[in-house]
Amino acid sequence: MKPQRRLVRSLPLAPTVVLLLLFLAGPIAYCVYIAFTDLQLTGQAHSSFTGFANFRHAFGDPEFRNAVWLTLVFTVLSSLVGQNTLGLALAALMKRASKPVRTLTGGVVITAWVLPEVVAGFLLYAFFRREGTLNAILDGLHLPRQNWLFTLPILAVSFANVWRGTAFSMLVYSAALDEIPSEITEAAEVDGAGGWRRMWHITLPMIRRSIGTNLMLNTLQTLSVFGLIWVMTRGGPGNKSQTLPLFMYEQAFQNSMIGYGTAVALLLLLVGSLFSVVYLRLLRTEV
Amino acid sequence: MARTRASRRLVADICLLAVAVAFALPLAWVVLSCVDPHAGLRVRVPGGLTLDNFHAILTPDITYTPLLNSLILCGGGTALTVACAALAAYPLSRFRSRLNRPFLLTILFATSLPITAIMVPVYALFVRVNLIDTLQGTIFFFAASQLPFAVWLMKNFMDGVPRELEEAAWTDGANSLQSLVRIVLPLMGPGLAVVTVFSFVMMWGNFFVPFMLLLTPDQMPASVSINDFFGNRGMVAYGQLAAFSVIYSTPVILLYVLVARRLGGGFALGGAVKG
């Protein structure tokens, strides 16, 4: 093919490539650059190159380590354990349940997912507040009440993320379970394999690719949750629910250290890229 | 056998209903509180039915301007995303090239990057190039952040349109752009609807991007302005907050129902990320 013709053919790609270069690749490159400077928010004529100072500062900073730890707790609790397991359980139960129950449960769970992030934050804020619904229920059951957003904020925001994100896992697993041929499960049933054994030895191995994909996407989504936590606790009280995105925001804007905030952002981006690459490998055969 | 199957169904039904109730509790709060004249923070049957909460918030300052801003931002961003994605998907789907595979891999890699992480440098960059606090700058960024997934989806949908129909048009002398607009896009209506609705819903619910890139209160979309209910110290009018949440959430729920109904339960999303 003539080079000229090839150029004309790839011309429709131009708007996309330009937008992505300017507004996605550009900021990422800029991110790498300012992570190594002491850029500040205001009153500074020029920033200077400081090498790895921001990163050294981060690893020595107890607040940064606190944020890393909370991000880990938040991700493991809400994404790996919560959304993933509950999503799979819901999808498996739905295959057995009657149609009206299936439709109702699916509708409610998906509504929680479709709601805007900030609205979800407010609904769960109301649910977990001291005078909110959860404590009203605990009172009704004569169980001890808690000031959830104060004593266990990371648990509250993790539950919030499970509430909001489970629908995605449920949809992915429903699609995966539908693809398992019914002869296989029936054969196992005839051979006398009980429900749990069938799940462990047949279903789970057959949908392992979906599990991998779902875990990756859930984790990536959970790593970048900001609005939900911001609305519910602002990262507080103190920094008891301050995950990395909130820590990054606070350093950059409340403490005016854009350079330091960006260094934290770069670390987050690196972790995200790592998960992204693993995700691509899982999908490798499909491109 | 039949009996165990029936009892198994009953167990599954009970478990699912328990989950449904747990998930519905926070939703019940917003639905009940928006018509409750004395709404508090817990789920309860309203003391009386009233539309006062809606009357109180249906003013230009509280509702109309933020919703209009949301519409401009998300409408503009979605239009840009869908137009660019449709153009880009065409050569990726129709012509063989050595560059297709690396390009698609890059796109797929970009779909899963945490956009939250680059917002601080985007802010710093926008300050330098004078795009901060402008609607067009935010629209461009919205489009760029949504484009990777939109291109990926669009290409997959376009692959489903048979080439034979286009070849007929080519022999009649149509060029690529004409056959894209007149033949391919009309044939992938449902796919186009999915990409459009998905982009719009993602932007409509996005809080962090406008929160970072816009500064003037008059330009804020609903996702940011909703925080004003807590802004001014003192009593929070929970009934009004609930009413605003309902108004702000309704469009995306309707759009979802519209698309889901046309395409059958799983929303093509389940298929788009299948592993």
Contact state of B275 with A275 under an 8 Å Cβ cutoff = no
Please, which residues bridge with residue A49 across strands?
A37
**Which two three-digit tokens encode residue A21?**
């270069």
pLDDT in tens, A134-181: 888 888 888 887 788 888 899 999 999 999 999 999 988 988 888 888
Contact state of A127 with B248 under an 8 Å Cβ cutoff = no
Contact state of B114 with A268 under an 8 Å Cβ cutoff = yes
pLDDT for B234 beyond 60: no
* Number of domain units in chain B: 1
Domain assignment present for B257: yes
Stretch B229-244: mean pLDDT: 76
Q: What angle do CA A108, A113, A117 make, to 5 degrees?
A: 130
pLDDT for A95 beyond 60: yes
Cα nearest neighbour of A176 on chain B: B274
Whether chain A has a CB inside 8 Å of the CB on B54: the answer is no
pLDDT in tens, A81-90: 999 999 999 9
Average pLDDT, chain A: 86
Q: Which residue has the higher pLDDT, B135 or B274?
A: B135
Contact state of B112 with A276 under an 8 Å Cβ cutoff = yes
pLDDT of residue B96: 83
**What is the predicted ipTM?**
0.86
A49: helix, coil or strand? strand
pLDDT of residue B232: 56
The distance of A131 to chain B (nearest Cα, Å) reads 6
Contacts of B88 in chain A (CB under 8 A): 12-13, 15-17
pLDDT of residue A120: 94
Binning pLDDT at 50, 70 and 90, where does residue B270 land?
Answer: very low
Note the pTM of the prediction, 2 decimals: 0.88
Binning pLDDT at 50, 70 and 90, where does residue B2 land?
Answer: low
Binning pLDDT at 50, 70 and 90, where does residue A36 land?
Answer: confident
Domain assignment present for B165: yes
Contacts of A261 in chain B (CB under 8 A): 120
Domain that holds residue B91: 62-227+250-272
Contact state of B25 with A127 under an 8 Å Cβ cutoff = yes
Distance (Å, whole) CA B189 – CA B191 = 5
pLDDT in tens, B97-142: 888 888 988 888 888 888 888 898 899 889 888 999 999 999 999 9
Contact state of B114 with A111 under an 8 Å Cβ cutoff = no
Distance (Å, whole) CA B252 – CA B239 = 21
pLDDT of residue B275: 31
The distance of A224 to chain B (nearest Cα, Å) reads 5
Cα nearest neighbour of B122 on chain A: A27
Stretch A82-99: mean pLDDT: 91
Question: What CATH number does the domain containing B87 carry?
Answer: 1.10.3720.10
The pair phi, psi for residue A181, each rounded to 5°, is -60, 135
Binning pLDDT at 50, 70 and 90, where does residue B84 land?
Answer: very high
Lowest mean pLDDT among A138-142, A168-172, B70-74, B242-246: A138-142
pLDDT for B274 beyond 50: no
Stretch B145-155: mean pLDDT: 92
Break chain A into its structural domains and give their ranges: 65-286
Buried-exposed string A120-156: b where 16+ CB fall within 10 A, e elsewhere: bbbbbbbbbbeebbbbbeeeeeeeeebebbeebbbbb
Please, are residues B113 and B107 in contact by the beta-carbon 8 Å criterion?
no
pLDDT of residue B265: 46
pLDDT of residue A285: 55
pLDDT in tens, B152-192: 989 988 888 888 888 887 787 778 788 888 888 888 888 89
pLDDT of residue B142: 95
pLDDT of residue B272: 45
Pure H helices in B44-188: 52-57, 65-94, 100-111, 119-128, 135-159, 164-171, 176-179, 185-187
pLDDT for A57 beyond 80: yes
Q: Domain A65-286: which topology?
A: MetI-like fold (1.10.3720)
Domain assignment present for B208: yes
